[in-house]
Structure 1
Amino acid sequence: MPDFSTDIPLRLGVQLAPQHHASYAVIRDAVTRFEDLGVDILFNWDHFYPLSGDPEGTHFEGWSMLAAWAEQTERVEFGALVNCNSYRNPDLQADMARTIDHISRKGGEAGRFIFGTGAGWFERDYAEYGYEFGTPGTRLDALAEGLARVEARWAQLNPAPTRDIPILIGGKGEQKTLRLVARHADIWHSFVTTDELPGKLDVIARWAEREQRDTSDLVISNELKGRDEQDAQALFDAGVRLFTLNVSGPEIDVDLVRRWLAWRDGVNG
């Protein structure tokens, strides 16, 4: 298996699924609480309707929320898991990301925004907001074009982003998604099992060779849903250095987050 970025501390990200079925007050309080507890990254998502529970339940738009988090927080990194490329012009996405990056800059430090992005999949969003749904292939092709435009726009903006904004790409498709990971990503996020992981990393390495890009610093990210500490340890041993935990609203399971923070701290020593 090729070498990827393992000589870094293990980090824990929390995805605030209370973005649906909760008031914004609950979300705001959770952001502050999780930053204070020591969570490394906070995520929301980019959808317009709930993904579970009452399909007509309460819901808030993701990018507006990320700008609020940029101002509210002091230390934690944050972003969408993930942005939908279909919903906004890529050059606009780049400008929004750069602006949020600057908003999050505190005390002269670099910004803390992570540009998590993907091709989109939730058909209701497309239908009700008037976007062309297309096919998985056409959406991935549009993502490939969009990522190139995002990076080109970042190089033109004045002022420039405060740092090279990290790009997170999710998915495991070997022909298109993992090629985009090899071409653009700083973080690769997936739900793959420990057994699947080496094969997927080999695919990324082969694409990286064709793309002539060094991916040795690529951070491998995975999901904790449905997993215990033994499963997580096996994924860590296989190279995962960022785990994400989805917490659902309107009640926030803070004890669950504390449990995984304690595991992270134990692994990091």
Structure 2
Amino acid sequence: MTLDASNAPARLGVQLQPQHATYSQIRDAVLRMEDLGVDVVFNWDHFFPLTGERDGLHFEAWTMLGAWAEQTERVEFGTLVNCNSYRNADLQADMARTLDHISAKGGDTGRFIFGTGSGWFERDYDEYGYEFGTVGSRLDDLAEALPRVKARWAKLNPAPTRDIPIMIGGKGEQKTLRLVAEHADIWHSFVAPGDLRHKLDVLARWGEKVGRDVTEITVSNELDRRGLDDEHADALYDAGVRLFTIGISGPHYEDTAVRHWLEWRDRKNGGRRADAA
């Protein structure tokens, strides 16, 4: 299956990994990404660095997003991705709604994207006192949480300014892709271009079972971390990916690759930025 992405613009998301940097460096990087023209800025939801010095500088995700919501004007933002295990589902919904309102400027709707997943980094769980469980139990917890998140959004006063987009990360065919079919507006994975058709076929079958037209889901994927591989990005685009993400780490948040992919994005969009396409 190929999702109906033919008319959708390519968009670029940059994950500013909140590690090995002071907060002032992170704050400056957020502004620089918005000025450069990226479409989405993400952080990640961990408590310790994932690369480099294991006890290096690191900051918490959700509190940081409140500052991003206030300091930015145009760019969408969120966590790639939230760990469902760390916070009560109704609390997550309320936090998301609050970020949505903080980021609404001048009468516009909010810009928050609720990216979420079941969690995987065992050190976070062990050091912060969360039960790690199993891959299956964590996915079951996510399946229980997502309806609660959406139900809480329907009860909150004030309500969110828009239908907050839900991004679900992962590629598992038995549980994750079913959750994507049921709940996601964006599906994020690291699936290789050659494997995407199969995964999208699985997603389509889940869509039939849950009664959802999954062609409306935006497909998101990671750009090749090994270098500026346009051929790889072109293959992802041809397979239906429309949100492309790249991760950069502190302390300097080097933007050479970001600039390259912005130029590539604009070529795909006929020379226009995605927000003008």
Cα deviation, 1:221-268, whole Å, max 9, x if unaligned, reads 000123511110011011000100001111221121111100100111
**Do the aligned partners of 2:43 and 2:79 also contact (CA within 8 Å) in 1?**
yes
Cα deviation, 1:1-38, whole Å, max 9, x if unaligned, reads 24333321100000001x11000011000000110110
1:84-95 equivalences under 5 Å are 84-95=83-94
Matched, 1:73 2:72: yes
SS in structure 2 opposite 1:155? helix
Please give the TM-score of this superposition, normalised by the length of structure 1: 0.98
1:249 aligns with: 250
1:203 aligns with: 202
1:9 aligns with: 9
1:268 aligns with: 269
Matched, 1:42 2:41: yes
Cα deviation, 1:80-135, whole Å, max 9, x if unaligned, reads 00000000000000000000000000011100000000000000100111100000
CA RMSD of aligned residues (A): 0.8
The whole-number CA distance in structure 2 between the counterparts of 1:3 and 1:34 is 29
**Do the aligned partners of 1:5 and 1:218 also contact (CA within 8 Å) in 2?**
no
Which amino acid is 2:137 matched to? T
The whole-number CA distance in structure 2 between the counterparts of 1:182 and 1:74 is 31
The whole-number CA distance in structure 2 between the counterparts of 1:190 and 1:4 is 18
The whole-number CA distance in structure 1 between the counterparts of 2:231 and 2:22 is 35
Which amino acid is 1:101 matched to? D
1:156 aligns with: 155
The whole-number CA distance in structure 2 between the counterparts of 1:175 and 1:121 is 17
The whole-number CA distance in structure 2 between the counterparts of 1:214 and 1:99 is 29
SS in structure 1 opposite 2:194? coil
Structure 1 segments unaligned to the other structure (5+ residues) = none
**Do the aligned partners of 1:6 and 1:241 also contact (CA within 8 Å) in 2?**
no
1:180 aligns with: 179
Residue 145 of structure 1 deviates from its aligned partner by 0.3
Structure 2 segments unaligned to the other structure (5+ residues) = 271-277
**204-213 vs 2-11, which moves further:** 2-11
The whole-number CA distance in structure 2 between the counterparts of 1:190 and 1:163 is 25
4+ aligned runs moved over 6 Å, structure 1 = none
**Do the aligned partners of 2:69 and 2:103 also contact (CA within 8 Å) in 1?**
yes
1:228-243 equivalences under 5 Å are 228-243=229-244
**Do the aligned partners of 1:169 and 1:185 also contact (CA within 8 Å) in 2?**
yes
1:140 aligns with: 139
Which amino acid is 1:12 matched to? L
1:118 aligns with: 117
**Do the aligned partners of 1:6 and 1:240 also contact (CA within 8 Å) in 2?**
no
**Do the aligned partners of 1:2 and 1:205 also contact (CA within 8 Å) in 2?**
no
1:96 aligns with: 95
Please give the TM-score of this superposition, normalised by the length of structure 2: 0.95
**Do the aligned partners of 1:71 and 1:104 also contact (CA within 8 Å) in 2?**
yes
The whole-number CA distance in structure 2 between the counterparts of 1:157 and 1:226 is 44
Between the two proteins, the alignment pairs up a number of residues equal to 268
The whole-number CA distance in structure 1 between the counterparts of 2:209 and 2:4 is 17
**Do the aligned partners of 2:181 and 2:206 also contact (CA within 8 Å) in 1?**
yes
**Do the aligned partners of 1:85 and 1:120 also contact (CA within 8 Å) in 2?**
yes
The whole-number CA distance in structure 1 between the counterparts of 2:50 and 2:160 is 32
SS in structure 1 opposite 2:13? strand
Residue 216 of structure 1 deviates from its aligned partner by 1.8
The whole-number CA distance in structure 2 between the counterparts of 1:265 and 1:173 is 32
Identity of matched residues, %: 69
Change (3 A) 1:158 1:59: same
